[in-house]
Amino acid sequence: MELWGGHECTVSRVGERWSDQSQLSGHDDRPGDLNLFADLGLKALRYPVLWERTERERGVYDWSWADERLGRMKALGVRPIVGLVHHGSGPAWTHLLDPAFAEGVARFAGQVAARYPWVEDWTPINEPLTTARFSALYGHWYPHLSDEGAFWRALLNQIDAVRLSMKAIRAVNPAGRLIQTEDFGTTWGTQPCRDQVGFENARRLMTWDLLTGRVDREHPLWSRVAGFGLGDRLREIADDPCPPDVIGMNHYITSDRFLDHRLKRYPANTHGGNGRIAYADVEAVRVLEDRPCGWDWNLKRLWLRYRLPVAITECHLGCTPEEQQRWLGEAWEAALEADRAGVDVRALTVWSLLGAYDWDSLLTRMRSHYEPGAFDVSSGSPRPTPLAETVRHIARHGVPPPHPAEGWWNEPDRLLYSPCQTAEMSEGRL
């Protein structure tokens, strides 16, 4: 099992305001960061060659940044996993609902592959489902829609972009591998919320289900998606799938959710609904007393569903340095345990090596809220945090050092609401 890394590289668009995490962290101007990453003992880096950063004018490509960075990674012996769109929507002249979006990404993918034919690992679109939700269902990111039909179109456009991009990449390098990332967690809820729970647990899998050709007439969400006039597109994808070479699981403490129809138990800002029932939507860690979910649980479930190699492609938690060490250590130990149980686990990725900005507001408010990662760049230059020592220890010894703290997610006082047992709850199963 390898140890990978990655720095938060989102280029987000909120209205006409663009935000670039590589610029905010200073990595944009510090190629020497790559030496620091390599010194941690990482075998590969999820690394951006982003469409909107490279093709700033139609048909005009600036390769200088990518040339320098990928060249240095090659010299350092660190394998790049190249990402082309990371929570973005492409250059200013396109967006997720543009009918030409997929062809545009694929055209760019072909250009990148031709320039770096030695690159084998690719993530053309990071987290298509999550990006579609935040952009077209919740309205947080451009083009700021809150429409389910638009959400499904945005998702299918990104899935088509992945399929077409991998064809363009493999036309240059037949050994090109797709490492498809997506956020993954489990939704639980009270019995009156069981239909919504089942829907959300089916929807969370749609990126991988679509790419593996599973979304046919027998799929639980076929009728719902086809009802928006997308049946022909679903058939085209199912007839010409693009299965990932590695299922990339991104998991956060907030990925597991809990839905409760008893609204009075929760603050108003958690209240929502689906038009048929009102419910509160809260982090499962704050209400489920026995918490069956976790790294091991999720890796095994993905393996059982797809029987494809899996990797943890984002492991990050904004908390104290000591708790960050424990979060990473628990993830690594769970991955080892899953591997011993027969799950083909390829890697764990230390994410947000340089930390992240403004994710507490999902990038909607530019307050310069910063949470460090393996390095703290708040002073303007990278300073190793205790997490960096844990990464080095794992790279050298294959196991984490003794955990320096008991993570808050394991403590009784993590429960903010009346506790529930999962045995009493409804969970939509795979």
How far is CA 409 from each of CA 124, 293, 294, 299, 365, rounded to the nearest angstrom?
33, 12, 11, 19, 27
What's residue 421's pLDDT? 80
- Count the Cβ atoms, other than its own, within 10 Å of residue 395: 16
Rg of the chain over all Cα atoms, to the nearest angstrom: 21
pLDDT of residue 291: 73
Per the DSSP assignment, residues forming a β-bridge with 247 are 180, 310
Contact between 293 and 257 (Cβ < 8 Å) = no
- CA max distance for the chain: 59
Place of tokens 């794992």: 394
Q: 134: which DSSP letter?
A: I
Predicted local confidence at residue 159, as pLDDT: 99
Round to whole Å and give the CA distance between 409 and 156: 35
DSSP SS3 for 200: helix
User: Cβ(122)–Cβ(176) under 8 Å?
Assistant: yes
Which tokens go with 410?
């394991």
Q: What is the pLDDT of residue 428?
A: 45
Q: Residue 426's pLDDT is what?
A: 60
Q: What pLDDT is attached to residue 134?
A: 97
Q: Any bridge partners for residue 250, and if so which?
A: 183, 314
The neighbouring-strand residues paired with 183 are 250
Q: Are the C-beta atoms of residues 179 and 248 closer than 8 Å to each other?
A: yes
Q: Which residues contact 157 (CB under 8 A, 6 or more apart)?
A: 96, 97, 98, 99, 101, 102
Cα(141)–Cα(137) distance, integer angstroms: 10
For 241-273, give one letter per residue: b (16+ CB within 10 A) or e.
ebebbbbbbbbbbebbbbbbbeeeebeeebeee
Is there a contact between 81 and 45 (Cβ–Cβ < 8 Å)?
yes
Q: What is the DSSP string of 267-317?
A: -GGGEEE-SS-EEEEEEGGGTBSS---SHHHHHHHHHHHH-S-EEEEEE--
For each of the domains in the chain, give its residue range(s) and CATH number, in order of start: 2-427 (3.20.20.80)
Q: How far apart are CA 26 and CA 275, in angstroms?
A: 44
- Exposure of 422 in the CB half-sphere (CA atoms within 13 A): 17
Angle ∠(264,267,270) on CA atoms, nearest 5: 105
In Å, how far are 118, 183, 283, 400 from 253, measured between CA atoms?
36, 11, 8, 20
What is the pTM for the complete model shown? 0.96
Look up residue 86 and give its two tokens: 């990371």
List alpha helices for 307-415, DSSP H: 321-340, 386-397
Indicate the angle between helix axes 64-76 and 101-115, nearest 10 degrees: 50
Asked if the peptide bond before residue 386 counts as cis, ω within 30 degrees of 0, the response is no
Going by C-alpha positions, the residue among 390, 108, 79 that lies closest to residue 246 is 79
Cα dihedral 167, 314, 27, 319, rounded to 10, equals 160
Intervals of the chain under pLDDT 50 = 428-430
Q: Is 80 helix (H, G, I), strand (E, B) or coil?
A: strand
Coil/strand/helix, residue 22 = helix
Residue 287 · residue 418 · CB < 8 Å: yes
